[in-house]
Amino acid sequence: MIKDNIKFALTEFLNLTEEEWFFISKSLVTRNFKKGDFFLKENAFCDYIGFIDKGFFNFFYLIDGVQHIRGFFFPNEFISNYPCFLLENKSKFYIQALEDSSVTLIQREALFLIYEKFPKIKELSRNTVESLYIEVSEKYESFFLKTAEERYLELISTGPKFIQRIPQYMIASYLGITPEALSRIRKRLAK
């Protein structure tokens, strides 16, 4: 069952009772995305957080008709536009499925009810958001302190099974380099 994926992920961090899991699971909805479907579009509100059961996504800004890839969401990761979710703002970027995918979702209001009923879930959420902040900060720093090759190696270690399925132009955009420069890096690493 798809919801078992998120149950397993949550119980890695929390000792959930069956009553707690039952209450939480009533608020979860599974949604399937075909390759190319949008999880979120620019200027839309994001009032949900998802957990990727299968498949993967990219998120990007569209500037003058050109995609600028900022990252990827892989299976067993949470997916959302967190600032948009927390501040109730409109999204400034898109999140799109790169292959057929399945995501378990929870709406903002339902999550806040769970926080009230089970404070330990709120603590997990806080820890998750803190981890995401650190991850984003490290990524931001890497563009100033690391080479494109070092950033490429980090990406490979994050989602090794998926890198071969991500179009090279998207990886290059994510790294802030041209596809030709990425090709040179890959050739150098293959030696």
Residue 33 sits in a domain whose CATH number is 2.60.120.10
pLDDT at 2: 54
Comparing 4-8, 50-54, 95-99, the range with the smallest average pLDDT is 4-8
| Residues of the domain holding 97 | 3-118
The one-letter amino acid at 66: V
Amino acid in the structure at residue 107: Q
Domain membership flag for residue 159: no
| β-bridge mates for residue 111, sequence order | none
Q: Which stretch of DSSP H or E encloses residue 88?
A: none
Angle 77-149-167 from CA coordinates, rounded to 5° = 55
Number of H helices, E strands in the chain: 9, 8
Q: How far is CA 79 from CA 40, 42, 131, in A?
A: 10, 15, 13
Q: Is the pLDDT of residue 184 over 90?
A: yes
What pLDDT sits at residue 20? 84
Residue 49: name the closest of 14, 8, 95, 99 by CA.
95
Q: Is residue 97 part of a domain?
A: yes
| Residue 163 covered by a domain | no
Angle between the 18-25 and 3-13 helix axes, to the nearest 10 degrees?
A: 130
Backbone phi and psi for residue 174, each to the nearest 5 degrees, phi listed first: -60, -40
Q: Read off the tokens for 5.
A: 């994926």
176 inside domain: no
Question: Is 78 inside a domain boundary?
Answer: yes
Distances (CA, A) of 149 to 34, 44, 96, 133, 163: 32, 34, 25, 23, 14
Query: Does residue 36 sit within a domain?
Result: yes
Q: How far is CA 129 from the centre of its chain?
A: 12
pTM: 0.86
Task: Work out the average pLDDT over 54-67.
Answer: 94
CA nearest neighbour of 121 among 2, 17, 48 = 17
104 in a domain, yes or no? yes
Q: Check whether 92 has a pLDDT greater than 80.
A: yes
Confidence of residue 3 (pLDDT cuts 50, 70, 90): low
Once rounded to an integer, what is the mean pLDDT over residues 30-58?
A: 95
150: in domain: no
Lowest mean pLDDT among 109-113, 117-121, 122-126, 174-178: 122-126
Task: Look up residue 1 and give its amino acid.
Answer: M
Question: What is the percent of the chain where pLDDT is above 90?
Answer: 49
The reported pLDDT for the residue numbered 126 is: 76
CA separation for the pair 170, 120 (Å, rounded)? 38
Q: How many domains does the chain have?
A: 1
Residue 60 has pLDDT above 90, yes or no: yes
pLDDT digits (tens, 9 = 90+) for 150-166: 989 988 887 777 888 89
